[in-house]
Amino acid sequence: MRILTALLLVSMFISGCSQANENVNKTEIKKEKKNVTQDEKIIRSILSPLKVQGVEVKKVEPAEVKVPGFKVYEVTIDDKRNHREIKKYVFLSKKGNYLALEMFKYKIKGDKVLLKPINPKNPVKELKTDVSFVRKVDEMLTKANIPHVIGKSNRKVYIVWDVFCPFCSAHFNQLEEIARKNNVEIHMIPLAVHGENSIKGLIYYTQIARERGAAEAFKELYSLGNGDFMKYAKNLEEKIKKGGIKLSKEEQNKIKETLKNVEKELLKNGVRATPTIIYAPPGEKKGYIHVGFKPIEEVLKEK
């Protein structure tokens, strides 16, 4: 979704700053190799602003899909920031200078208009990358006595989470069962994406986890809303405000320092969102980083 939004923003960027980009685009087109077609030069030039987001065009090829009045190209994009390769169609008109980054096929059914986006099959391919950094983060949490491991197995999945992440909290009560069912060891790596509120919430989690273990701590958090995120967030904030954290200030500061160091290490390695799922096959340094939710059973199939 993020990459589609970025592509649409490129078109707005060009229309809003046409004069500034006109000169840049002309320069980039002149620098292309001679064997590159004019259509490819245009597409690469239009998408070049994505480089600032760590996104680069790898390949532009004519697509087999047919759209009346348009030449269709399949663009392969290297999304380095999110460790994935994305395929996207770009549409150039056969007459006149028109370009579309999105195209839909519509069907009228009764009084409804149904839209279907025209996209390549299997548009996203996760790329294998060095994920050894997450083991360093894991050790930092263990050393600071922040319980975060659920289950026991040689297959380890690392889930980056935050107490105020709606997608994360929806699964808090399922973690123990997921670990047992899939014979996997789940390492919950905290990332305070909501600043001081998140840190306080994570300190509260640590307090419970030290008393009852990580799995029970997550169940306790889930019980604050039972699937209703707004209710959960409100109850968690109230518990913290009413003195729910009993740890000494010294101990709270130690946990806070660890959380800050964990955050630095994750950001340094391009992990900045929750949930993010990290997995490397047993014994391997390289693995996969999934931004957003993906079923654990699917993650474990990756080699």
The DSSP line for 55-98 is EEEEEEEE-S--BTTEEEEEEEEEETTTTEEEEEEEEEESSSS-
The encoded tokens of residue 188 equal 């919950």
Q: Kindly report the backbone phi and psi dihedral angles of residue 196, in degrees, each rounded to the nearest multiple of 5, phi listed first.
A: -60, -35
Q: Kindly report the backbone phi and psi dihedral angles of residue 248, in degrees, each rounded to the nearest multiple of 5, phi listed first.
A: -65, 155
pTM: 0.75
Topology of domain 129-299 in CATH is: Glutaredoxin (3.40.30)
Q: Given this model, what pLDDT does residue 251 score?
A: 97
Q: Cis ω on the peptide bond leading into residue 275 (within 30° of 0)? A: yes
Q: Given this model, what pLDDT does residue 113 score?
A: 94
Range(s) within the chain of domains with CATH label 3.40.30.10: 129-299
Q: Given this model, what pLDDT does residue 36 score?
A: 58
Q: Are strands 149-150 and 104-109 parallel, antiparallel or unpaired?
A: unpaired
Q: Given this model, what pLDDT does residue 236 score?
A: 97
Alpha-carbon span 278 to 267, nearest angstrom: 14
Can you list the alpha helix ranges (DSSP code H) found in the chain?
2-16, 18-31, 38-47, 133-143, 166-169, 175-182, 195-212, 214-223, 229-241, 249-268, 296-299
Q: Given this model, what pLDDT does residue 65 score?
A: 93
| Residue pair 252/245 in contact by the 8 Å Cβ criterion | yes
Q: Given this model, what pLDDT does residue 83 score?
A: 86
pLDDT in tens, the chain (303 residues): 444 444 454 433 323 333 333 334 443 444 444 445 899 999 999 999 988 888 899 999 999 999 999 999 999 999 988 888 999 999 999 998 999 999 999 999 999 999 999 999 989 888 899 999 999 999 999 999 999 999 999 999 999 999 999 999 999 999 999 999 999 999 999 999 999 999 999 999 999 999 999 999 999 999 999 999 999 999 999 999 999 999 999 999 999 999 999 999 999 998 999 999 999 998 888 999 998 888 999 999 988
Q: Given this model, what pLDDT does residue 52 score?
A: 86
